[in-house]
Structure 1
Amino acid sequence: MQITSEYLERAIEQLAKLPGTGRKSAQRIAIHLLKQNDDYALNLAQAIVDLKEKVTRCSVCGNVSDSDPCKICDNPKRDPSAICVVEEFNDVYIIEKSNEFRGRYHVLGGVISPMDNIGPDKLRIQELLKRVGEDDEIKEVILALNPDAEGEATSYYINKLLKNYEVDVTRIAYGIPMGTELEFIDEATLSRAFASRNSF
């Protein structure tokens, strides 16, 4: 195949590195960008530069933010008695969209995964223990990690460490998603739903 533009080819190669983007999708995006006016392309480029240069991590919770501390940690209307522990900063975004949790967060930066050489020392677990130990207002730590093997191991490890502190350790409920029929639920999810059942 004869390459008509090295610049277009380079753009396709870079776009194809984005998660969930194959070469064909990258090619469509690159051609779409090529068809747009200069302002569109320059605004997109500037947004990417700003993303890399101006977004930082909150020194308190580890969430991404434009300021330090972040707006959630700095908000006096948030409930200081509850901390929700999540794997990554995008989990904060998902939970915030639900408008159900009004406390604060702690982003671990991953989960314990021996296969990937990620031990507890590579996560923000010590920072969590320090927060809980130094802040008398914290009464509950909610573990909101993914219900896979690594998430379960990390939850178990954190729960064990927090037994030395005067806080309640809870976890979000796992079970059957709304709108799903029982015949399509796998055994592990159904078992977890029965174990996590509540009073009506």
Structure 2
Amino acid sequence: MKRLVYLFTLTFLLGINFNASAQVNNCYISFKKTGNLKMNSADRFPAEADHNYKLNTQDGEVILTMVDGYRILYYNSKNVPFVNLKVETSTAQNYETDKRNLLAHLRYLNANSITMETKDLIELNYNGFKIYGLSRNSIESGSTLGTFVMFPGNNTIVYFYFNNLKPELSNFKNLADYQGQRNDFIGEYTSYLNNCLGK
């Protein structure tokens, strides 16, 4: 899981070549708040160079493409980020391949990590969207409790990272509380998305 976060952070630092026809739709990056979480600014990844990045799978390394992307942090009432949301667009010709490769990478991470909630990927269904991910079975370890992805179409990939927090900074009290807030965020985000996209 840490490797996945590291790779996407590396993407942020290296930069991406933007294409006007593949820009992120504003609906994906304009969800303001839910519960006690409030949105910080939507930060666009720098557009300095073409960039593809490598991910590990059980069958070896694969390439993921990206042409545009944003990161948004959602802070709790103690002013600490609980949700790290990233939205990226792939190249049109590579979107389906990127989806398969990303899911293969998540399965690789889940199979090679300890204290995970399930043996295979978790599948959630909210408001007509299917979300895939991995999540820990305890809040006692790990800097990231859950990593989830959604493929809403239009060459877009949405990533949800749920941060583990120290008790004095946390907005959840136990594993069930974290899971409930995790699912609530995804549910409310996808509900907002449906309304914004006019579905």
Alignment TM class, shorter chain as reference: under 0.3
Provide the TM-score with structure 1 as the length reference: 0.26
By percentage of residues, which structure has more strand? 2
Provide the TM-score with structure 2 as the length reference: 0.26
Question: Of the two, which has the highest radius of gyration?
Answer: 1
By percentage of residues, which structure has more helix? 1
> Which has the bigger relative contact order, CA under 8 A and spacing at least 6?
2
